């Protein structure tokens, strides 16, 4: 046992402390109506956890998510939509690979949103999003999302302010409608520091195996770092609701990022409490041969 886990393990297990320990992720949830400032968050945060122990715990949690997913599918009355947003090199792809990799692919659908096509642009901004929302019984994973329409669109002035400013309300109404249909929405902002972004981009330049991930366009976006952070702050402050909360995920340390995301998803699925349908009376059935 490491020095870091010892005090916790020995702490008196009062019900209150137990509940607090269970809900440690709440500290990373953006309270509805709360105006957040990202400068107050630490992208290096590790929760006071130890890396090796935490990795093992994450693997166990993912096993439980797989089991809950199976029940969600069998029940087919609810769905879970997971939104991942981050700055370039923020770790969206890595999170998908590491947290969702071990989960049964039949129950999970991943959608990556790129620059809208001409057809998509001829529709309202939620059209392509709505089509990708998971059906009941499934988990849907958005790699970028409708939030791009208040992030890149705002920062790169792809639409005038009166257009994107109205979208926060559109998004909240849309997500409430999904919830009323039985679709739980959970949103993660993977928060890395500017220095970490530089290091990750440099690795993409230096490592031939990662060269394909390097994009000069990302360097252009990096120049707008402060504008992006301001846009994220508004999106997170205005669109974190009780039904569709945003989490700020400190993401400089990948193992902590994965652990927080996996824990929140496990807890969300537990709260949804999916149940396999009750067994019918099968007692008279004989399989011949």
Interacting residue ranges for ligand AMP, rule: CB under 6 A:
113-116, 144, 148-149, 152-153, 158
Choose between 32 and 116: whose C-beta lies nearer to ligand AMP. Answer: 116
Q: Measured from the CB of residue 218, what is the shortest distance to ligand AMP in angstroms?
A: 7
Choose between 116 and 182: whose C-beta lies nearer to ligand AMP. Answer: 116
Q: Which does 103 bind (CB under 5 to 8 A by kind): ligand AMP, Mg ion, none?
A: none
**Stretch near Mg ion under the rule CB under 5 A, chosen from 4-12, 51-59, 87-95, 96-104:** 87-95
Q: Measured from the CB of residue 125, what is the shortest distance to ligand AMP in angstroms?
A: 7
Q: Measured from the CB of residue 115, what is the shortest distance to ligand AMP in angstroms?
A: 4
How many C-beta neighbours within 10 Å does residue 129 have? Answer: 22
Positive or negative: CA dihedral 88, 86, 195, 38? positive
Q: Which does 110 bind (CB under 5 to 8 A by kind): Mg ion, ligand AMP, none?
A: none
Size of the site for Mg ion (CB under 5 A): 1
Interatomic CA distance for residues 192 and 250, integer angstroms: 7
Locate 121 and state its tokens.
Answer: 């642009």
Choose between 153 and 264: whose C-beta lies nearer to Mg ion. Answer: 153
**Stretch near Mg ion under the rule CB under 5 A, chosen from 88-96, 105-113, 139-147, 154-162:** 88-96
Q: Which residue is nearest to ligand AMP (CB)?
A: 148
Choose between 149 and 258: whose C-beta lies nearer to ligand AMP. Answer: 149
Q: Measured from the CB of residue 111, what is the shortest distance to Mg ion in angstroms?
A: 16
Choose between 54 and 143: whose C-beta lies nearer to Mg ion. Answer: 143
**Pair 61, 266: CB distance under 8 Å:** yes
E strand or H helix at 176 = helix 167-181
Q: Measured from the CB of residue 71, what is the shortest distance to ligand AMP in angstroms?
A: 32
E strand or H helix at 163 = helix 161-165
Strands (E), the chain: 79-86, 108-112, 139-143, 183-191, 246-250
Helices (H), 182-253: 194-206, 216-222, 225-238
Interatomic CA distance for residues 125 and 127, integer angstroms: 6
SS3 18: helix
User: Site residues (CB under 5 A) for Mg ion?
Assistant: 88
């Amino acid at each position: 046992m490491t020095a870091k886990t010892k005090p916790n393990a020995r702490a008196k297990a009062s019900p209150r402390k137990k509940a607090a320990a269970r809900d440690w992720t709440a500290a990373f949830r953006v309270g509805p109506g709360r105006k957040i400032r990202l400068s107050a968050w630490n992208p290096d945060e590790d929760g006071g956890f130890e890396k090796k122990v935490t990795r093992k715990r994450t693997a166990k949690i993912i096993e439980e998510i797989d089991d809950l997913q199976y029940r969600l599918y069998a029940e087919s009355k609810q769905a879970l939509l997971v939104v991942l947003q981050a700055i370039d090199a923020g770790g969206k792809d890595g999170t998908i690979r590491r947290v969702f990799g071990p989960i049964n692919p039949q129950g999970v659908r991943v959608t990556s949103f790129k620059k809208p096509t001409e057809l998509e642009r001829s529709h309202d901004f939620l059209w392509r999003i709505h089509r990708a929302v998971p059906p009941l019984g499934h988990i849907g994973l958005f790699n970028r999302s409708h939030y791009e329409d208040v992030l890149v669109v705002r920062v790169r002035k792809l639409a005038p302010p009166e257009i994107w400013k109205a979208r926060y309300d559109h998004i909240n109404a849309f997500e409430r409608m999904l919830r009323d249909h039985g679709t739980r929405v959970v949103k993660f902002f993977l928060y890395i520091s500017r220095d970490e972004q530089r290091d990750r981009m440099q690795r993409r330049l230096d490592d031939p195996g990662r060269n394909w991930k390097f994009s000069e366009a990302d360097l252009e976006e990096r120049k707008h770092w402060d504008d992006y952070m301001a846009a994220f702050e508004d999106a997170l402050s205005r669109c974190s609701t009780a039904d569709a909360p945003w989490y700020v995920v400190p993401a400089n340390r990948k193992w902590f990022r994965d652990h927080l995301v996996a824990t929140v998803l496990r807890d969300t699925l537990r709260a949804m409490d999916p149940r396999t349908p009750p067994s019918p009376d099968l007692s008279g059935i004989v399989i011949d041969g």
